[in-house]
Amino acid sequence: GMIANFIITSGNLFSKETVILDNWVKGVRYPIGNSEQKDIRGNYSLVTASGKPSRMKISGEALSPEMYMYEDTLQVKAMAFSRNGDLVTFSFERKLEDPKGVVRYSGVLEEQGWSGNAQLADGNWTNWTMTFDSLITLTEKKDTTAKPLKDIGKISYPNMAYGWKELPKAGTVLIINATVWTNEAEGILTEADVLFSNGKIVQVGKDLVAPAGATVIDGTGKHLTAGIIDEHSHIAVSNSVNEGTQTSSAEVRIGDVLDADDINIYRQLAGGVTSSHLLHGSANAIGGQTQLIKLRWGQSPEELKFDGWPGFIKFALGENVKQANWGDLQTVRFPQTRMGVEQVYMDYFTRAEEYQQQQSRWTTTDASLKTNAVPPRKDLELDALSEILNSKRFITCHSYVQSEINMLMHVADSFGFEVNTFTHILEGFKVADKMKAHNVRGASTFSDWWAYKYEVYDAIPYNAAILHKVGVNVGYNSDDAEMARRLNQEAAKAVKYGGISEEDAWKFVTLNPAKMLRVDDKVGSIKAGKDADLVLWNDHPMSIYAKPLTTYVDGIAYYDSERDAQLREDIRKERARLVQQMNEVKLKGEAVRKPAAKPQILKHCLEEEYHTIH
Q: What is the pLDDT of residues 318-335, one digit of tens each?
A: 988 988 777 777 667 889
* Rounded Cα distance, 229 and 509, in Å: 6
Residue pair 578/149 in contact by the 8 Å Cβ criterion: yes
What burial class does residue 1 get, using C-beta atoms within 10 Å of its C-beta: 0-12 exposed, 13-18 middle, 19+ buried? exposed
Distance of CA 403 to the CA centre of its chain: 34
State the pLDDT at residue 490.
Answer: 97
State the pLDDT at residue 452.
Answer: 86
| Cα→Cα distances 94→68, 129, 220, 270, 476, Å | 12, 17, 89, 69, 75
State the pLDDT at residue 362.
Answer: 81
* Rounded Cα distance, 253 and 9, in Å: 43
> At a CB cut-off of 8 Å and minimum separation 6, what does 289 contact?
250, 252, 253, 254, 255, 311, 312, 313, 314, 384, 393
Residue pair 118/105 in contact by the 8 Å Cβ criterion: yes
Residue pair 388/411 in contact by the 8 Å Cβ criterion: no
State the pLDDT at residue 480.
Answer: 92
* Rounded Cα distance, 604 and 606, in Å: 6
Instruction: Give residue-wise pLDDT tens across range 54-100.
Output: 889 998 877 778 899 887 778 889 988 988 878 899 998 887 777 88
Residue pair 22/30 in contact by the 8 Å Cβ criterion: yes
Task: Determine how many CB atoms are found less than 10 A away from the CB of residue 245.
Answer: 10
CA nearest neighbour of 279 among 478, 473, 489, 476: 478
Peptide bond just before 99 cis, omega within 30 deg:
yes
* Length, in residues, of the chain: 614
Q: Kindly report the three-state secondary structure assignment for every residue of 382-449.
A: HHHHHHHHCCCEEEEEEECCHHHHHHHHHHHHHHCCCCCEEEECCCHHHCHHHHHHHCCCEEEECCCC
State the pLDDT at residue 33.
Answer: 64
State the pLDDT at residue 156.
Answer: 92
CA nearest neighbour of 503 among 35, 188, 141, 33: 188
Please name the residue ranges forming H helices in 498-550: 502-507, 511-516
338 conformational bin, left if phi > 0, alpha if psi -120 to 50, beta if neither: alpha
Task: Determine how many CB atoms are found less than 10 A away from the CB of residue 309.
Answer: 18
State the pLDDT at residue 145.
Answer: 58
- Look up the pTM and report it: 0.76
State the pLDDT at residue 139.
Answer: 64
> At a CB cut-off of 8 Å and minimum separation 6, what does 344 contact?
247, 248, 285, 286, 334, 335
State the pLDDT at residue 608.
Answer: 47
List 81's β-bridge partners, or say none. 90
Residue pair 590/596 in contact by the 8 Å Cβ criterion: no
**pLDDT < 70 regions, the chain:** 33-36, 50, 138-151, 330-331, 365-372, 606-614
Task: Determine how many CB atoms are found less than 10 A away from the CB of residue 537.
Answer: 25
